[in-house]
Amino acid sequence: MGRSSRSWDESDVRVRPNRRGSRPRTKDRPKHEDAIVGRVTAVDRGRWTTLVPGGEGLPERVVIAMRARELGRSPVVVGDRVAMVGDTSGAPDTLARIVRIEERATVLRRTADDTDPVERVIVANADQLVVVAALADPEPRPRLIDRCLVAAYDAGMDPLLVLTKSDLASAEDFLAQYAPLDVPHVVTSVLTEGSEGLAELRRRLAGRVSVLVGHSGVGKSTLVNALCPDADRATGHVNDVTGRGRHTSTSARGLRLPPLPPSYDREDVRAQEAEPVDPDAAGWIIDTPGIRSFGLAHVEPDRIIGHFPELAEGADEGCPRGCTHDEPDCALDAWVAAGHAGPGGEQRLDSLRRLLRARSGESDER
């Protein structure tokens, strides 16, 4: 006779193991060998806009994507080349998935301030940092420019100084303080098609990936609209009371430059660059929101001095480990005095120390 249900206990229960549930988890992830690679041109609230080149019977297209869970907290920024799976057709209301970030050639970073240990990646895979500053309205900020130059050297990017509003003030005195750094520069005034400043800037940007940085009100968005007429970036004005501009660009955006007009001298473009550049290749600019600070807590001083080869040799030979290169007994003073750094060595040393002070947050007025 069967047992009454009232007399059952836990020993009477038999649970069959779930073969799927007991299967050991694996850390092996799919390789996604069939993933399509595109370039990130914009980021907006968890959606990444990418441009995928044509191929396999499909034209060049814009693909909207989301981040895959396996990427974790890895930042995906404008300029990144990313591998995507899912619906990569670019059709309306479709969504792909970013499963991999391709290896980056360069990374532009900044911190909130000089004590913040957290690095923030701004842009990836740019090879030129265009520092935009106004000669007036608002007044130029040399210390912010110095910090941008330090960031460019640390990222392995070529710096380019663009001075706007030269119709309001002369650029001669301002450029004199950057002459020892050998930073290439372009001076612009009214940005009309065919103007000398705009034509020179087009030549400097041809065939390269350039990121534009500068504080609000310097005319960055106006520059972008002149270079890419279809960009339609919002522009603003400078406050008469504070002397500051207001943020009109709220996020970074990558824009492809139109081809150089046939009237431009291609050989002149090639002669301007240290590395070979194809002037007919598609150049890109990345417009970023205006900045009011540029933290450099992540930058090592040795990476800065590496861009002064005539001084780096003296530092390797005479400076002890831990030397700040900005102290009374630094061996670089004797190195320069002996003529090892050339006729402009003293000015170059002053410029190096100014950048090191900018990195440390100290005043450059000594």
What is the DSSP track for 99-159? EEEPPPS-EEEEBSSTT----EEEEES--EEEEEEESSSSPP-HHHHHHHHHHHHHHT-EE
The answer to whether 157 and 108 are in contact (CB under 8 A) is yes
- pTM for this entry: 0.80
Residue 354 CA: distances (Å) to CA of 145, 185, 197, 304: 11, 19, 28, 11
The residue length of the chain stands at 366
Phi, psi of 154 (to 5 degrees): -65, -35
Cα–Cα nearest to 151, from 319, 296, 339: 296
Crossing angle of helices 220-227/196-205, nearest 10°? 80
DSSP H helices in the chain: 142-155, 172-176, 196-205, 220-227, 266-272, 301-305, 309-318, 331-337, 345-360
pLDDT at 20: 64
Distant-in-sequence, close-in-space partners of 316: CB < 8 Å, separation ≥ 6: none
pLDDT at 356: 87
Tell me how far apart the alpha carbons of residues 144 and 136 are, in angstroms, rounded to a whole number: 15
- For the record, the structure tokens of 365 come out as 């007025």
Cα–Cα nearest to 160, from 127, 193, 194: 127
- For the record, the structure tokens of 152 come out as 């460019």
Neighbour count for residue 186 (Cβ, 10 Å): 22
The answer to whether 211 and 289 are in contact (CB under 8 A) is no
Q: Rg of the chain over CA atoms, in angstroms?
A: 27
pLDDT at 301: 79
Classified as helix, coil or strand, 187 is: strand
Phi, psi of 328 (to 5 degrees): -55, -35
Q: Answer whether the bond into residue 59 is a cis peptide, omega within 30°.
A: no
Q: For the purposes of burial, counting CB atoms within 10 Å of the CB of 71, is it exposed (0-12), middle (13-18) or buried (19 or more)?
A: middle
Tell me how far apart the alpha carbons of residues 126 and 107 are, in angstroms, rounded to a whole number: 7
- For the record, the structure tokens of 57 come out as 């019977």
* pLDDT in 10s for each residue of the chain, 366 residues: 555 656 777 677 776 766 666 556 666 677 888 899 999 999 999 999 999 998 878 899 999 999 999 898 889 999 999 999 999 999 999 999 999 999 999 999 988 777 777 888 999 999 999 999 999 988 888 888 988 998 999 999 999 999 998 888 999 989 988 888 889 999 998 666 666 788 899 999 999 999 999 988 898 888 998 899 887 655 544 444 344 444 455 789 999 999 887 777 666 665 566 566 676 677 999 999 888 778 888 888 778 888 888 899 999 998 988 888 888 889 999 999 999 988 888 988 998 998 888 877 665 444
Bridge pairing between strands 128-134 and 209-213: parallel
Give the torsion sign (CA, 298, 301, 139, 206).
Answer: negative
